Amino acid sequence: MRAAYAALPPDAPVRLAKKTSNLFRFRPPGETGLDVSPFDQVISIDPDRRTADVQGMVTYEALVDATLRHGLMPLVVPQLKTITLGGAVAGLGIESSSFRNGLPHESVLEMEILTGSGEIVLATPDNEHAELFRGFPNSYGTLGYALRLTIELEPVKPYVRLRHVRFDDAHSCFAAMEAICATGADQGERVDFIDGTVFGPDEQYLTLATFTDTAPSVSDYTGMEIYYRSIQRKRVDHLTVRDYIWRWDTDWFWCSRALGVQQPWVRRMWPASKRRSDVYRRLVALDRRHRISNRLDKWRGHPQQEPVVQDIEVPVAQGPSFLDFFHREIGIEPIWLCPLRLRDPQAWPLYPLKPGELYVNVGFWSSVSLHAGQAEGHYNRLIEEAVTAHDGHKSLYSTSFYPPEEFWRLYDGVAYAELKHRYDPNQRLPDLYDKCVGMR
């Protein structure tokens, strides 16, 4: 890997040559690719220490399959099967265990990183590369690439029991979420996982899930049934632990509907093996590249659509106000909610959430019609302004529009500059701002 990196043209921007991606910042053509495909294996599982030693490009699908054989799972498993462990650490990941387990990078014990200078260093929380260890999350491959990581695991049970609890207003929903996250229980029952789904201002649900040894029956949402629709219909549900982990992947949350896959006749014809998020994402990338939808909208006389694909975090107290803004100004539904609290008492500088504070991830993935005089980016800029006004942050996996000064204020430009100077002094890897904002 060192030799391959050294052989790349020194004056060309470097990116990973990956078969799959879960980013919605679509790459410009002509970038130099670094082939990391050999680094996609689970090296070992230690069931006694509850750890896994894995390579950076292993997908969570492969990692989960390996750990479940030992009755274990990663502490946080992001929602989509082809997210890689290295990607979730260099970017960000989240799921319904994040209220007790934080973010994926917080369960990393050590990692070997190929830095921008071409060196491979071992970074741990307390060695000479501790600052890189803490600054790596949210660096998106601009400081280096994780080739090997050791992570913590936790025990599982065979099944997960789900309760879908409805709330008629955001204030009561967020208040209940805060109370449950504080105690880890609801009505005397332990809660191992919690997330929420908003179908409208007067219809939102918290899904409270608990490991269990038995289940009277289990649902299957990999066939004709659709998971998110069950939230409105069922009060109680049961899934195998594996199906719970991947409950959102078959329909990419609800985004498969944009491709017609939720139409019964289409679903019957669409191969079950292709009902997965990475397939849908490739179709979206093809559409964006060739502007097929834009051309069809123009031909039909429909307004231009602005993609609004974002995940943001705001403090739980700000959640109802942010949702009020979002319903009023954006209007996308459903919306995903996921509470999180950092495990570590120290902050992670490039995504500076406050330790000890409960945040709520708000996820929304669709498009909005642009009106006369509105340029593309109008709604995404509105959202960025609202997130900042609500003391929040947004993930950088999708399009961003921040001016440089604001971007570096939000994502600790001072800490980043120090790490960039030490680990990529010749600027072989792209700058974080250029990669996340400038390469639109």
Write out the two tokens for 298. Answer: 């123009």
pLDDT at 422 (0 to 100): 98
Check whether residue 124 and residue 231 sit in a common domain. no
Please say which residue of 247, 270, 302 terminates a domain: 247
Tell me: do 107 and 137 sit in the same domain: yes
Structure token digits, residue 54: 């894995």
Does residue 26 sit in the same domain as residue 120? yes
**pLDDT at position 282, please?**
87
Query: Of 139, 156, 173, which closes a domain?
Result: 156
Q: Where are the beta strands (DSSP E) in 225-300?
A: 236-240
Instruction: Give the sign of the dihedral formed by CA 185, CA 163, CA 70, CA 338.
Output: negative
Q: Residues 98, 167: one domain?
A: no
Report the Cα–Cα distance between both ends of the chain, in Å, rounded: 29
Query: How far apart, in whole angstroms, are the C-alpha atoms of residue 164 and residue 186?
Result: 12
**Exposed, middle or buried: residue 317 (CB in 10 Å: 0-12, 13-18, 19+)?**
middle
| CATH assignment of the domain containing 72 | 3.30.465.10
pLDDT of residue 95: 98
Same domain as 112, residue 23: yes
Domain count, the chain: 2
Q: Are residues 140 and 23 in the same domain?
A: yes
How do the pLDDT tens digits run along the chain, 440 residues long?
A: 899 888 888 877 787 776 666 565 656 555 557 888 889 999 999 999 999 999 999 999 999 999 999 999 999 999 999 999 999 999 999 999 999 999 999 999 999 999 999 999 999 999 999 999 999 999 999 999 999 999 999 999 999 999 999 999 999 999 999 999 999 999 999 999 999 999 999 999 999 999 999 999 999 999 999 999 999 999 999 999 999 999 999 999 999 999 999 999 999 999 999 999 999 888 887 877 777 777 776 777 778 889 999 999 999 999 999 999 999 999 999 999 999 999 988 889 999 999 999 999 999 999 999 988 888 899 999 999 999 999 999 999 888 999 999 999 999 999 999 999 999 999 999 999 999 997 65
Range of the domain at 231: 159-247
Q: How far apart are CA 141 and CA 129, in angstroms?
A: 17
Instruction: Quote the tokens at residue 440.
Output: 């639109």
Dist. CA 320–CA 173, nearest whole Å:
9
Q: Is residue 229 part of a domain?
A: yes
pTM listed for this prediction:
0.94
Of 145, 147, 143, 127, the residue nearest 135 (C-alpha): 143
Integer CA distances (angstroms), 102 to 48, 77, 97, 179, 347, in order: 22, 11, 8, 17, 12
Question: Which residue, among 280, 66, 63, has the nearest Cα to 76 in the 3D structure?
Answer: 63
Cα-Cα-Cα-Cα torsion 337, 343, 347, 350, nearest 10 degrees, comes to -50
Q: How far is CA 324 from the centre of its chain?
A: 23
| Residues 27 and 47 occupy one common structural domain | yes
The answer to whether residue 152 sits within a structural domain is yes
75: which strand partners?
none
CA distances from 372 to 303, 304, 378, 422 (A): 9, 10, 11, 48
Instruction: Look up residue 179 and give its two tokens.
Output: 């109370």
